Structure 1
Amino acid sequence: MIKKQIEISLNKAREEKARREKYIYYIKYVSSIFLPAFIVFISLNFFIGIASVKGSSMEKELHNNDIVIFNRLNKDIKRFDIIVANKDDENIDIIKRVIGLPNEKVNIVDGNVYINDILLDESLYTINGTTETQDVIFPIILKDDEYLCLGDNRAKSLDSRNSQTGLINKDDIFGIVFIVLRNLH
């Protein structure tokens, strides 16, 4: 009888151990799925962002349907950085190149951009190398939190030269592009 009770106790202990091991296995399995998903979710919402290029305004650097990954934390914006920003509270992302920085004088004369009266060399990234004005009157002196941003394909870009887009406020900049994933189609 004691032998039978010991055997029953051992069986219960084995069953309990098997249940615990199964429980631990499920916890590890679920964690292996949800923990990486949670990390990706947090990263995409707080550290990095993803945007899709629409149109040809940033050619030759970016093309229609390319995907850009941008750093949400880096707000140390420099000239020639490509940024992702919000356009006029319309929940439309725009992707443009920073040309004018806060407190600078920007002028466009005869297809050339001048920063503080010094000609800016744009030959590395613009398609035709000339910049025409649109409906914004130049010269412009940027305020403490304003950036003048232009598309690389100036003939096809709706950017800071147009009052519809206008100057970009620092608070409207989501981040600086650091990876481009090319659309292969």
Structure 2
Amino acid sequence: MSRTELIDVIDTLRQDETPQETEALRRVDAERERLTERRRLWRVLRGTVSTLIVVAAIAVLLATLLLPVLQVSGDSMNPTLQDRDVILLVKTDDWKTGDLCGFYWQNKLLLKRIIGGPGDVISIDTKGVVSVNGEVLDEPYVDELALGECDIEFPYQVPESRYFVMGDHRVTSIDSRSTVIGCVEKSQIVGKVFLRVWPLSGFSLIH
């Protein structure tokens, strides 16, 4: 029997139904619809739970490999980073001159650029030109050179297990040039800035 013929038979049977049978069939149809809706909701719920599990797994992975998302505050890293930029950091023990790092200072997380590591000899002239171990440092990330807020004497040798850091906005940045902050201990450094995620127009890797 074809589907059309079966529907015709059902319609014929419905025409011969008593009111009691009609009510019973109505209840059966309602129950079937209810069960169908329940199955649909269960599929949606199961899909949602599966998605949440995947998201949670990714979050755990990111928490293991990356530090929390951070929002830049201030202009000490201009022009590389702007106020309110949102960035990600990655954990690493491999630090070199030019890396942009985040470190704790008095319970605050600051962002600066590594200029020199343990044992390096740093010099900065009155115009703000930086030399590391006697060689002038190429700094394409700096718009305007300046000696800035500086109360240390040069040449300056970076102590063991410490790093000399500076902000890219040399005029306003308070950094290792000042004894207020000084050189940063390796244990204070929490990660390397590697990605700007906001604003979307500025989404990019950070060098």
TM-score, scaled to structure 1: 0.76
Q: Which residue identity lines up with residue 100 of structure 2 in the other structure?
A: I
Q: Is this contact kept in 1: 2:115–2:166, CA < 8 A? A: yes
Q: Is this contact kept in 1: 2:148–2:173, CA < 8 A? A: no
Distance in 2 (CA, whole Å) between partners of 1:29 and 1:181 is 26
1:59-109 Cα distance to aligned partner (Å, 9 max, x none): 11100000111112x22111111111111xx22111111111121011222
Q: Which secondary structure state, in structure 1, belongs to the residue aligned with residue 177 of structure 2?
A: coil
**Structure 1 position 39, deviation (Å):** 2.6
Tell whether 2:160 aligns with 1:158.
no
Q: Is this contact kept in 2: 1:51–1:93, CA < 8 A? A: no
1:134-172 Cα distance to aligned partner (Å, 9 max, x none): 123332211231111100001111111112221111111
Aligned to 2:120: 104
Q: Which residue identity lines up with residue 81 of structure 1 in the other structure?
A: D
Q: Which residue identity lines up with residue 112 of structure 1 in the other structure?
A: V
Aligned to 1:48: 66
Tell whether 2:97 aligns with 1:76.
no
Counting aligned pairs with the same residue, the percent is 28
Q: Is this contact kept in 2: 1:106–1:115, CA < 8 A? A: yes
Aligned to 1:16: none
**Structure 1 position 130, deviation (Å):** 2.9
Aligned to 2:162: 146
Q: Is this contact kept in 2: 1:113–1:131, CA < 8 A? A: no
- Higher relative contact order (CA closer than 8 Å, sequence separation 6+): 1
Distance in 1 (CA, whole Å) between partners of 2:167 and 2:84 is 15
**Structure 1 position 28, deviation (Å):** 5.6
Distance in 2 (CA, whole Å) between partners of 1:139 and 1:45 is 40
Equivalent residue runs for 1:11-160 within 5 Å: 29-40=48-59, 42-49=60-67, 50-72=69-91, 74-87=92-105, 90-110=106-126, 111-122=128-139, 124-160=140-176
Q: Is this contact kept in 2: 1:103–1:142, CA < 8 A? A: yes
Q: Which residue identity lines up with residue 65 of structure 1 in the other structure?
A: R
Q: Is this contact kept in 1: 2:116–2:164, CA < 8 A? A: yes
TM-score, scaled to structure 2: 0.68
Q: Which residue identity lines up with residue 45 of structure 1 in the other structure?
A: A
Coordinate RMSD, CA, aligned: 2.4
Q: Determine which structure has more spread, i.e. the larger CA radius of gyration.
A: 2
Q: Is this contact kept in 2: 1:75–1:176, CA < 8 A? A: no
